[in-house]
Amino acid sequence: MTGAGMTILKHLIGAMLLLSALLTAIPAHAQFADADLTTLVDALAPGSFKDRETAIGNLVASGDPRAVPVLETLLEGELYFDETGGKVVFTSASGGKGAISDPVTGADLSDLTEADLEKVKVNNSLRRVLRTAIGQMTLLSEDARVRLSAAQSVLRDADPAQLELLDSAISAETDVRIKRVMEQARAVIMLKSPEASVEDKTAAVPVVLAIGGRDALNTLTTALASAPDEIRPTIESAIDGLARDRAAWDVAQNVWFGVSLGSVLLLAAIGLAITFGVMGVINMAHGEMVMLGAYTTFVVQEIIRQNAPGLFDWSLAIALPAAFLFTGLVGVAIERGIIRFLYGRPLETLLATWGLSLIIQQAVQRIFTANIREVGNPSWMSGSFELGGLAITWNRFYIVIFALLVFVALLLVLKYTAIGLHMRAVTQNRRMASSMGIRTPLVDAMTFGLGSGIAGLAGVALSQIGNVSPNLGQGYIIDSFMVVVFGGVGNLWGTLVGALTLGIANKFIEPYAGAVLGKIIILVLIILFIQRRPRGLFALKGRSIEA
Amino acid sequence: MITQALFRALDKKAIWLVAILLLVAVAVPASNLLLPVDSPFRLPNYAVPLFGKYLTFAMLALALDLVWGYCGILSLGHGAFFAIGGYAMGMYLMRQIGTRGVYANPILPDFMVFLNWKELPWYWYGMDNFWFAMLMVVVVPGLLAFIFGFLAFRSRVTGVYLSIITQAMTYALLLAFFRNDMGFGGNNGLTDFKDILGQSISAPSTRAALFAASAIALALAVLACSAIVNSKLGKVMVAVRDAESRTRFLGYRVEYVKLFAFVVSAIIAGIAGALYVPQVGIINPSEFEPANSIEVVIWTAVGGRGTIIGPIIGGVLVNVGKSYFTGAFPEYWLFALGALFVVTTLFLPKGIVGLIGQYRAATTKREQHDRDAPTPMQVEAGADPQPKPAE
């Protein structure tokens, strides 16, 4: 208690000293003669900390911009003086030999060696005095950038001792932007300071409110504790407004996380949805197609690393078509090799493709080992950016965009291409489509290839947000099924809505129930939902009794 | 009426099967306990619980066959009922440890002491009583199946959709049982059992008795299933499997038929799980893995669904193969299992039993008509030449 009280007291004394010095100095602004300034600077070295405070005050009073680096160096504890001569000098902070120089003129003082030098000692209270002093010299600096950053640092520290200084700076300030920051700093100080009048405090509230964000919220909350009763309601309503703001941003952040998860689910499920929609086939090896896509990315990156490291930022652009083609071909092979013998027996395709997924997983494990492989992010996908109160990582952002692009592309393919028309026809009525001359086996093969190819694209995207291992696909298969079953079959919009709903619901339940319980709740909700709508959200309407 | 049903159940095949199972129930323990150690006919100690495990798997496959093979409900969550039965037995065995646990707490199992719990959760009450625990083995899986089936069948969730939500059910349970605060030992499950009914669980005589119990339980399950499928209700079940809408239009309450089959099947699976746990000595959440439940489907499919003996043959054969493969070539087991799935669905739609039937039919046909028998593929293709439209 007493220690803290003492520090504050010292602090105040120091600041007042400085202020008195400053007020006399304001009109000066003139450059001092080298010799005079040197005398002032040299006065920093001898005596007690108390003497040093006085010396700092005198330096500030000089108003000479050359004093700022001296004070800054002193603050860093890198200011030295010559033990015999008492001259204060700069050494290069990096400690280079022979880099000793005069702080005022900048002249090289190579006749001094490091052995002659002693540090000018600073303690905590002196450091505080120094910071204030520097703020003073910078707030009133002629360089607008210096003033702005000084104003921001005052806003951050919000030290009541700087109030008078700030006032004079505000009245001298011409730049509107800097002036606003300074006024905000002043308002924060007003709210903090116990001496400020009620009117001042009341006037300060809207200014602080304008700062917005967590900082303003914290300032107002602290202020509320010590505020006189008259202005309490004002502050409280301001806090409410800010808290609502904050809550809105938190909701937005959750929505974003949900959208991000939903887009991953969408990518994983969309291929499943079209194979299920068109062929009535549940492809349990779908997750393995995703996994193969991720491994394709890994292989492409390895080849690039070894042969053309410069192309690394393009690796995904190369991996996307490669993964699409590779998994698409695997899909066509599966359809021709196994699934076409099992039409009309959807439950048995489920078993056969499950068996296939075991084989593919084990084969990949034999080739690449069971170790987790890390796929690198190209430079443009790493890092993050802020949007209002949201923090968004680039890789998640691009995956959302990519998922939507794939979705739109698929819609266009289904709507405007011949194969898309055929697919829709087969989905709606296989026999009729066949009677109209559509080669349904070819459509089936193409559909399965397309679905698998999209799974491959999903794999490329997933490799960017997680590690790649042979059981990568297993983690997504049940979730993808949930999306398809929830969204309904035969309509891609159902898949989109299903994926986003599940993603967002997941992220909203998670904070209350934890990740695992949240997932359980979602599963139970889906099971219950299926009771209400056994064909999902967007069921294809038809007259067939078995539908 | 019950005697009548039992009498009908005792057709020739079922009698043989039950007789063989009862013989095994006597022969295996006798060979292990009575023969001298150096006798070539003596089963080694490790083999008894191993064979007992195969029998419980066979029982699980039989349970699945009742719903899938006879009623057309492909459950991808039957492992959940098996595991719940196992947990009920595990809870009883846990309570029998008493003060012999690491923390020597007379009431709380070790993992609860470790989690700093002060008293037993309410659902552990009474589990120290064997008969109450056995009641739970039957009641809990049955109740879960009843609630789940009631909701699902009432709203006519069928086919692939039903398979997916049963899978979601077991997945949700898997996640739930992994949680420590569920009070079932979390990740590690229940293990370190000491006694069952006052007998040391690792004594050869106890293991022999457990084996005999498994064989007898399987024989009883065979009788029950056989009675059901040979009854009029069994015929309706097959009708539901083959033409659900038509059966409904004929006036049968399809959902109740399905619900009955589902609940009975879950109970059989639960009993199988309860017999499995003391023989392997552990139950943990991995039994809920969706992959396990799918594996059960392949046991049933390999043996031959829609028959009583098929799933028993399949359950035993596939698991003997698994034991052999995982010992001899561990890295090829998944290849073999995967290939088994593909080959069975492609070439053996009726399983091993169906293969024998086809062979017989083929020979008689050849004798009668001197003509080539249709291949399985043609039989299937002939049944439904056109792929069905998407649902």
Query: Which is higher by pLDDT, A390 or A360?
Result: A360
**Predicted confidence band at A9 (pLDDT cuts at 50, 70, 90)?**
low
- Bridge partners of B190? B283
**Cβ within 8 Å, pair B384-A516:** no
Tell me how far apart the alpha carbons of residues B206 and A417 are, in angstroms, rounded to a whole number. 70
Task: Choose the weakest-confidence range: A15-29, A285-299, B248-262, B371-385.
Answer: B371-385
Task: Identify the residue among A274, A279, A282, A359 best suited for mutation to test binding to B, counting B beta carbons within 10 A and taking the highest.
Answer: A359
- Tokens for B2, please give them: 């019950």
Return phi, psi of residue A15, to 5°. Answer: -65, -40
- Bridge partners of B200? B195
Angle between helices A346-368 and B159-178 (to 10 degrees): 50
For residue A520, give the nearest of B175, B342, B344 by CB distance.
Answer: B175
B181 part of contact set with chain A, CB < 8 Å: no
Task: Choose the weakest-confidence range: A112-121, A306-315, B100-109, B262-271.
Answer: A112-121
Task: Identify the residue among B173, B248, B345, B375 best suited for mutation to test binding to A, counting A beta carbons within 10 A and taking the highest.
Answer: B345
Q: In chain A, whose CA is at the least distance from the CA of B347? A: A341
8 Å CB contact between A489 and A540: yes
Tell me how far apart the alpha carbons of residues B250 and B252 are, in angstroms, rounded to a whole number. 6
Return phi, psi of residue B75, to 5°. Answer: -90, 125
For residue A366, give the nearest of B168, B245, B331 by CB distance.
Answer: B331
**Cβ within 8 Å, pair B179-A517:** yes
What is the 8-class DSSP label of residue A119? Answer: E
**Cβ within 8 Å, pair B346-A279:** no
Q: How far is A286 from chain B (nearest CA, A)?
A: 14
Amino acid at A362: Q
**Which distant-in-sequence residues (6+ apart) come within 8 Å of A213 by Cβ?**
A389
8 Å CB contact between A456 and A324: yes
CA dihedral B152, B157, B159, B162 (to 10 degrees): -40
For residue B165, give the nearest of A431, A444, A530 by CB distance.
Answer: A530
Tell me how far apart the alpha carbons of residues A432 and A458 are, in angstroms, rounded to a whole number. 33
8 Å CB contact between B166 and B75: yes
8 Å CB contact between B65 and B306: yes
User: Long-range contacts of range A98-103, CB-CB < 8 Å, 24 or more positions apart?
Assistant: A102/A38, A103/A41, A103/A66, A103/A69, A103/A70, A103/A73, A103/A79
Output the 3-class SS for A193-215: CCCCCHHHHHHHHHHHHHHCHHH
The tens digit of pLDDT for each residue in A165-203 reads 788 788 878 888 888 888 888 888 887 777 777 777 777
What CATH number has the domain spanning A250-532? 1.10.3470
Output the 3-class SS for A60-102: HHHCCCCHHHHHHHHHHCCEEEECCCCCEEECCCCCCCCCCEC
Task: Choose the weakest-confidence range: A13-27, A138-152, B107-121, B128-142.
Answer: A13-27
Q: Which residue's structure tokens are 């493969």?
A: B325
10 Å Cβ neighbour count for A200?
16
Which of A446, A399, A396, A453 is closest to A421 using CA atoms?
A446
pLDDT surpassing 80 at residue A230: no
Q: What is the mean pLDDT of chain A?
A: 81
B152 part of contact set with chain A, CB < 8 Å: yes
8 Å CB contact between A499 and A537: no
Tell me how far apart the alpha carbons of residues B157 and A44 are, in angstroms, rounded to a whole number. 87
**Cβ within 8 Å, pair B168-A481:** yes
Domain boundaries, chain B: 2-348
Which of B300, B350, B351, B344 is closest to B64 using CA atoms?
B300
Q: How far is B247 from chain A (nearest CA, A)?
A: 13
Q: Taking residues A85-101, what's their average pLDDT? A: 66
For residue B161, give the nearest of A345, A530, A540 by CB distance.
Answer: A530
Tell me how far apart the alpha carbons of residues A122 and A48 are, in angstroms, rounded to a whole number. 10
Chain A residues inside the 8 Å CB shell of B387: 279-280, 343-344, 430, 440, 444
- Tokens for B152, please give them: 């699902």
| DSSP class per residue in A437-465 | T--HHHHHHHHHHHHHHHHHHHHHHHTTT
**Cβ within 8 Å, pair A362-B338:** yes
Residue A27: the pLDDT is: 42
For residue B391, give the nearest of A429, A526, A546 by CB distance.
Answer: A546
**Cβ within 8 Å, pair A534-B161:** yes
H/E stretch holding A387: strand A384-387
Tell me how far apart the alpha carbons of residues A490 and A48 are, in angstroms, rounded to a whole number. 85
Query: Which is higher by pLDDT, A464 or B135?
Result: B135
Q: Which residue's structure tokens are 């004079």?
A: A168
**Strand ranges across the sheet with A79-82:** A88-90, A79-82, A117-119
**Cβ within 8 Å, pair B154-A531:** yes
What is the 8-class DSSP label of residue A466? Answer: S
**Which distant-in-sequence residues (6+ apart) come within 8 Å of B46 by Cβ?**
none
| Pairs across A and B, CB distance < 8 A | 166
pLDDT surpassing 80 at residue A6: no
Residue B5: the pLDDT is: 65
Q: How far is B379 from chain A (nearest CA, A)?
A: 12
8 Å CB contact between A460 and A316: yes
Q: Which residue's structure tokens are 């539901």?
A: B240
H/E stretch holding A392: strand A390-393
For residue A361, give the nearest of B334, B342, B349 by CB distance.
Answer: B334
**Which distant-in-sequence residues (6+ apart) come within 8 Å of A52 by Cβ?**
A44, A120, A122, A126
Which of B119, B282, B252 is closest to B185 using CA atoms?
B282
**Cβ within 8 Å, pair B165-A338:** no
Q: Which residue's structure tokens are 């323990």?
A: B29
- B:330-389 residues touching chain A, CB 8 A cutoff: 331, 334-335, 337-342, 344-346, 349, 377, 380, 384, 386-389
H/E stretch holding A471: none
**Cβ within 8 Å, pair B165-A359:** no
**Cβ within 8 Å, pair B388-A280:** yes
**Cβ within 8 Å, pair B345-A351:** yes
pLDDT surpassing 60 at residue A453: yes
Burial degree of A435 (CB within 10 A; 0-12, 13-18, 19+): exposed
pLDDT surpassing 80 at residue A99: no
**Which distant-in-sequence residues (6+ apart) come within 8 Å of B331 by Cβ?**
A362, A366
**Direct distance between the N- and C-terminal alpha carbons of chain B, in angstroms, rounded to an integer:** 41
Phi-psi region of B73 (alpha: psi -120 to 50; beta: other; left: phi over 0): beta
Chain A residues inside the 8 Å CB shell of B390: 276-280, 426-427, 430, 489-490, 540
Chain B residues inside the 8 Å CB shell of A361: 334
Q: In chain B, whose CA is at the least distance from the CA of A348? A: B345
Tell me how far apart the alpha carbons of residues A67 and B301 are, in angstroms, rounded to a whole number. 89
Domain boundaries, chain A: 2-216, 250-532
User: Of the spans A42-46, A466-470, B73-77, which averages the highest pLDDT?
Assistant: B73-77
CA A135 to each of CA A67, A112, A149, A204, B58: distance values in angstroms, whole numbers, following the listed order:
12, 32, 9, 22, 83
Amino acid at B20: I
- Tokens for B49, please give them: 């619980």
CA A37 to each of CA A63, A64, A118, B137: distance values in angstroms, whole numbers, following the listed order:
10, 8, 21, 93
Residue A95: the pLDDT is: 47
Tell me how far apart the alpha carbons of residues A230 and B383 are, in angstroms, rounded to a whole number. 88
Task: Identify the residue among A278, A531, A544 best suited for mutation to test binding to B, counting B beta carbons within 10 A and taking the highest.
Answer: A531
Burial degree of A312 (CB within 10 A; 0-12, 13-18, 19+): middle
Q: Taking residues A6-21, what's their average pLDDT? A: 56
Amino acid at B256: Y
**Cβ within 8 Å, pair B338-A358:** yes
Chain B residues inside the 8 Å CB shell of A538: none
H/E stretch holding A309: none
Residue A436: the pLDDT is: 93
**Cβ within 8 Å, pair A338-B342:** yes
- Tokens for B56, please give them: 């419980």
Tell me what percent of the residues of chain A surpass a pLDDT of 70.
Answer: 90
**Predicted confidence band at A144 (pLDDT cuts at 50, 70, 90)?**
confident
- Tokens for B124, please give them: 């552990």
Q: In chain A, whose CA is at the least distance from the CA of B344? A: A352
8 Å CB contact between A532 and B155: yes
Tell me how far apart the alpha carbons of residues B153 and B267 are, in angstroms, rounded to a whole number. 18
Three-state DSSP state, A361 = helix
Q: Which residue's structure tokens are 């190209």?
A: A378
Quick check: ipTM above 0.95? Answer: no
pLDDT in tens, chain B (391 residues): 667 766 666 677 888 999 999 999 999 999 888 888 888 888 888 899 999 999 999 999 999 999 999 999 999 999 999 999 999 999 999 999 888 888 888 888 888 988 889 888 999 998 999 999 999 999 999 999 999 999 999 988 888 889 988 999 999 999 999 998 888 988 999 998 998 988 899 899 999 999 999 999 999 999 999 999 999 999 999 999 999 999 999 999 999 999 999 999 999 999 999 999 999 999 999 999 999 999 999 999 999 999 999 999 999 999 999 999 998 888 889 899 999 999 998 888 888 888 888 888 888 877 776 545 444 444 444 344 444 444 3
Amino acid at A248: A
Return phi, psi of residue A89, to 5°. Answer: -135, 165
